Chain A
Amino acid sequence: MWKFFSLDEIKKSLLMALWFIFLTFPIMVIRVNPIYNVVEWRWQNMALVGAGAFFLSFLWRYFLEYKNPAPSKPADDAAVSRSGRFSELLRSSGTRRLAIGAAVILALAFPYLFSSYQVNIMTTALIYVVLGLGLNIVVGLAGLLDLGYVAFYAVGAYSYALLNLHFGLSFWICLPIGAALAALFGILLGFPVLRLRGDYLAIVTLGFGEIIRLVLENWNDFSKGPSGIAGIPRPGIPGIEMSLNASSVFLYFLMIALALFTIMVVSRLRNSRIGRAWIALREDEIACQAMGVDKTKTKLTAFALGATWAGMGGVMFAAKTTFINPASFTFLESAIILSIVVLGGMGSIIGVIASAFILILLPEYLRAFSEYRMLIFGAVLVIMMVFRPQGLISNVRQTYRFKGLQENKEGD
C-alpha cells in the first residue's frame, strides 16, 4: 500500500490529472450558448477535475494492482480463489439456511415496517429480480446474447392491458396468457436467429426489441400508440375491496410469491437435464451437439422460457403502474436487465438477485442527487466490469457427495 505514495506514483497521478484537465477542458470548462452567442467559462470545474483525477488515479491503480497481484498470474485464477471463500460460505448449508430464513422474515415483515413508497419500489425491484432471472436463462445459462429482452416484457404488459381493455379479462387470467404469449414470441424470435452466433445474434435481438416497440408506437388502432393505455386495474381478490395501500401491499406479496416461484424454477432447472444442456451449449456448441444435445430444441426452450418470465414480469408491471406506453420498453431497459445478469454473475441466482436490488434500488435511493443518477449508473457498470468481470458471485455449480470418495479422501 505504501508504495503508492512514492514520488513515482505521485508523478503518475499528476500526469493523469493533467491529462484529464486537458480531456475535459472543452466540455467541462466552456459552455456556449449559440443562440445568444455567449460563452461561459467555468474555471472552477478545471480545479475539480484536476483534484478528482489526481486522487482517483491512485485508487484506480491500487485496486487494479489488488485485482492482479502478480503480472505472471492469470487474473482468472486469482479471482476464483478469492471468491472461493464467499462461495464456500454460501455452500455451507447452515449459514445458507440462516440467511434464507432471515431474508424470508424480512420480506414478510417489510410492508409493516416501511412506508407504502418503500413497498412500491421494493415491488419494482422484485419485478427486475424476475426479469433478471429470466434473462439469466437465456444469457447466463444458454449463453445467447439477447439485447432485445424488453420485447417480451412489452408483450406481457400489453397482453394484460389490451385483454383487460377489450375483453375485461382479469389479472389472474391474463398472467398465464401474458406468459404464454411471451413464450410464443420467444419461439418466433428463436427460429430465425438459430443459425446466428454471438454479435450477430445480439444485433438481431436488439432489432427485434425495437420492432416490437415501434409497432406498439405506430399501430394506434391496436395499441393506442404512444399515448398509452391508462386505467389498468390492480390485481385484487374477488369479493374483497382493497384500499390503495392494501392493494400495493397485496401486489408486493404477489411479487414476492412470483419471485420465489421464479427462484425455485430456475434453480431446479439449472441443475436438471435441460439446464446442463443449456450450460454445455454456452460452453461449447460443437462439443455439446456431438454429445447428443439437440441444439435447435435446446436454444428454443431457452428463448421460450426466458421470455415467459419477461411476460409475467410485464403483466406485473402493467398491474403496478396501471398505465403503460411504449416509452417504457426501450433499448435502455434491455441494457439494464442485461447489466443485472452480468453484474450478478452469469448463471448465479443469488448474484442476479443481489445485483437487481443494487441496480434498481440504487437510483431510487439516489433520488436526492437525481441529476447524477444515470451518470453514476454508467460509471458503476464500467467499474464493476473492470474490477469484477465475472460478476458479484462467480460460477457456482452443484456438488455431489459420494460415500466411497470421502473415505478415499481421508486416506489421502
Chain B
Amino acid sequence: MDYFLELFLGGLTRGSIYALIALGYTMVYGIIELINFAHGEIYMIGAFTALIAASVLNIMGFGPVTILILAMVLAIVYSCAYGVTMEKIAYKPLRHSTRLAPLISAIGMSIFFQNYVLLAQTSDFLPFPSLLPELEILEPYAYIIRSSEVFIILTTFGVMVLLTLLIKFTRIGKAMRATAQDRTMAMLVGVDVNRVISMTFIIGSSMAAIGGVLIASHIGQINFYIGFIAGIKAFTAAVLGGIGSIPGAVLGSLVLGWTESFATGYISSDYEDVFAFGFLVLILIFRPAGLLGKATTQKV
C-alpha cells in the first residue's frame, strides 16, 4: 500500500509539473487555435532568467526571500516579454493564412530559442539553486513528500482556480471567450482582439515562468533543452484533457503523470513514454475530443 501511495504521490507531482506548462498551451490554443510549440521554450527562458537573476543577486548579497521574489518577478516579466514579442513576430502576421503556417513558424521559433540560449549561455547542465524554503511541518514526512512538491501541487491548483475565475468573471475573460468563439464577431462587437491575444500570451507566459522557477528549483538543474521535453509532454497532456479546456489541461496532466508513474512502478520505466503516448491514442479513439473536450457536431 505504501508503494502504491508513493507512486501516487510521484504521479501527482509529475502531473502538476506538466499541468503548469499545459495550462499555457491550452489557453493559447483555446483563443487562437494555435499549437504554440515554442511554449516550452518560454518556460525554459523563464527558468534561465531566474537562474541568472538569482546568481547575480546572490553575489550582491541579498537574502533568500528577496532572491526568490525578485527572481520570480523577473522570470515572469521576461517570459511575458518573450511571449508577446514572439506573438508579434511569428504569429500575428500569419493570422489569416493556412493552419499549417503558424505551426511551422512555431516549430521554427522553438528551434531558434533553443539555439539562442545554447549559444548565448551554454549547452551544459547548470545547477539551479533551491529557491523554495523548506517547510518545517513537513520534516517528519520528508521520506515521502518534499516541500517543493507541495509548492508545485498547490500552485497548480491555485493557478487553475484563478484562471477559471478570470475567464468566467472578469471583463478580459469575457473578451477572451468571445474571441475564442468567433474572432470576427468579437471584433465587430468592439472587442480589441489584438489586446486579447496579447493578454493570452502574457497569462500563458506568466504561468510558464512560474512553472519554470518552481520546477527548476525542484529538480535542481536546467539546460536549454528542458523546455522541449517538458513541452511535448505538456502538449500531450493538454490534448488528452481536451485542448482548450482549463480543467481538462489539469486533469489530462494528472492522468498522464499517474500513467507514467504507475507504468514505471508496476511494469517498467523502459516504456514509460510508450505507455503515455499509447494511452493518449487509446483515449482519443474513444473520446476524439479528449477527456473534457466537447465533442462538437460539425455544422453543415
In the bound complex, what is the Cα–Cα distance between A199 and B100 (angstroms)?
10
In the bound complex, what is the Cα–Cα distance between A375 and B103 (angstroms)?
18
B239 to A381, Cβ gap below 8 A? Answer: no
- The interface residues of chain A lying within 8 Å CB-to-CB of B271 are 214-215, 218
Report, as a range, how many residues of chain B touch the other chain. Answer: 35 or more
B119 to A371, Cβ gap below 8 A? Answer: yes
Asked if B160 is at the interface (CB within 8 A of a chain A CB), the reply is no
Asked if B43 is at the interface (CB within 8 A of a chain A CB), the reply is no
Given A346-B98, A382-B90, A389-B97: A200 in contact with B104 (beta carbons within 8 A) = no
Within 8 A of B (CB), among A120-177: 139, 145
Within 8 A of B (CB), among A371-412: 371-372, 374-375, 377-382, 385-386, 389-390
A200 to B239, Cβ gap below 8 A? Answer: yes
Asked if B8 is at the interface (CB within 8 A of a chain A CB), the reply is no
Given A211-B274, A331-B232, A385-B108: A195 in contact with B288 (beta carbons within 8 A) = yes
Q: SS class of chain B's interface: helix, strand, loop or mixed?
A: helix
A198 to B236, Cβ gap below 8 A? Answer: no
Binary interface profile of A, 177-217, with partner B (CB < 8 Å = 1, else 0)?
00000000000000011011111101110111011001100
Shortest beta-carbon distance, A54 to chain B, in Å? 16
Within 8 A of B (CB), among A27-85: 27-28, 30-35, 37, 39, 45, 64, 67, 74-76
B51 to A32, Cβ gap below 8 A? Answer: yes
Contact of A204 among B78, B81, B119, B280 (CB under 8 A): B280
In the bound complex, what is the Cα–Cα distance between A379 and B111 (angstroms)?
8
Asked if A23 is at the interface (CB within 8 A of a chain B CB), the reply is yes
Q: Which among B55, B82, B102 has the highest number of chain A CB atoms within 10 Å? A: B55
Shortest beta-carbon distance, B243 to chain A, in Å? 7
B115 to A374, Cβ gap below 8 A? Answer: yes
B105 to A381, Cβ gap below 8 A? Answer: yes
Contact of B243 among A33, A199, A214, A331 (CB under 8 A): A199
Contact of A385 among B94, B243, B280 (CB under 8 A): B94
- The interface residues of chain A lying within 8 Å CB-to-CB of B121 are 27, 31
- The interface residues of chain A lying within 8 Å CB-to-CB of B111 are 332, 335, 374-375, 377-378, 381
- Nearest-neighbor residue (CB-CB) of A35 within chain B: B127
Contact of A32 among B52, B90, B277 (CB under 8 A): B52
Binary interface profile of B, 54-86, with partner A (CB < 8 Å = 1, else 0)?
011011000000000000001000100110010
Q: SS class of chain A's interface: helix, strand, loop or mixed?
A: helix
Binary interface profile of B, 264-300, with partner A (CB < 8 Å = 1, else 0)?
0000001101100110110011001110000000101
B48 to A26, Cβ gap below 8 A? Answer: yes
- The interface residues of chain B lying within 8 Å CB-to-CB of A339 are 104, 107-108
Binary interface profile of B, 107-130, with partner A (CB < 8 Å = 1, else 0)?
111111111110111100011110
- The interface residues of chain A lying within 8 Å CB-to-CB of B120 are 24, 27-28, 31, 45
Asked if A343 is at the interface (CB within 8 A of a chain B CB), the reply is yes
In the bound complex, what is the Cα–Cα distance between A292 and B122 (angstroms)?
57
- Nearest-neighbor residue (CB-CB) of B37 within chain A: A335
Binary interface profile of A, 322-346, with partner B (CB < 8 Å = 1, else 0)?
0000000001100100110011001
- The interface residues of chain A lying within 8 Å CB-to-CB of B119 are 371-372, 375
Given A26-B74, A218-B271: A37 in contact with B55 (beta carbons within 8 A) = yes
Shortest beta-carbon distance, B36 to chain A, in Å? 11
Contact of B101 among A33, A202, A385 (CB under 8 A): A385
Asked if A22 is at the interface (CB within 8 A of a chain B CB), the reply is yes
- The interface residues of chain B lying within 8 Å CB-to-CB of A202 are 35, 103
Asked if B53 is at the interface (CB within 8 A of a chain A CB), the reply is yes
- The interface residues of chain B lying within 8 Å CB-to-CB of A208 are 277, 281
In the bound complex, what is the Cα–Cα distance between A109 and B34 (angstroms)?
46
Binary interface profile of A, 78-105, with partner B (CB < 8 Å = 1, else 0)?
0000000000000000000000000000
Within 8 A of A (CB), among B214-263: 232, 235-236, 239, 243
In the bound complex, what is the Cα–Cα distance between A200 and B117 (angstroms)?
30
B236 to A207, Cβ gap below 8 A? Answer: yes
- The interface residues of chain B lying within 8 Å CB-to-CB of A385 are 90, 94, 97, 101-102, 104-105, 108
In the bound complex, what is the Cα–Cα distance between A197 and B116 (angstroms)?
34
Asked if A107 is at the interface (CB within 8 A of a chain B CB), the reply is no
Asked if B157 is at the interface (CB within 8 A of a chain A CB), the reply is no
- The interface residues of chain B lying within 8 Å CB-to-CB of A269 are none
In the bound complex, what is the Cα–Cα distance between A338 and B81 (angstroms)?
29
List 9 A-B pairs, Cβ < 8 Å: A24-B120, A31-B122, A32-B56, A200-B284, A203-B235, A286-B300, A378-B110, A381-B104, A385-B104
A-B pairs, 8 with minimum CB distance = A381-B108, A378-B112, A207-B277, A378-B111, A389-B97, A389-B101, A32-B55, A375-B115
**Can you name 5 extra interface pairs (CB under 8 A) apart from A32-B56, A67-B93, A203-B236?**
A34-B55, A204-B281, A286-B300, A378-B108, A386-B89
A residues in contact (CB < 8 Å) with B: 19, 22-24, 26-28, 30-35, 37, 39, 45, 64, 67, 74-76, 139, 145, 192-193, 195-200, 202-204, 206-208, 210-211, 214-215, 218, 286, 331-332, 335, 338-339, 342-343, 346, 371-372, 374-375, 377-382, 385-386, 389-390
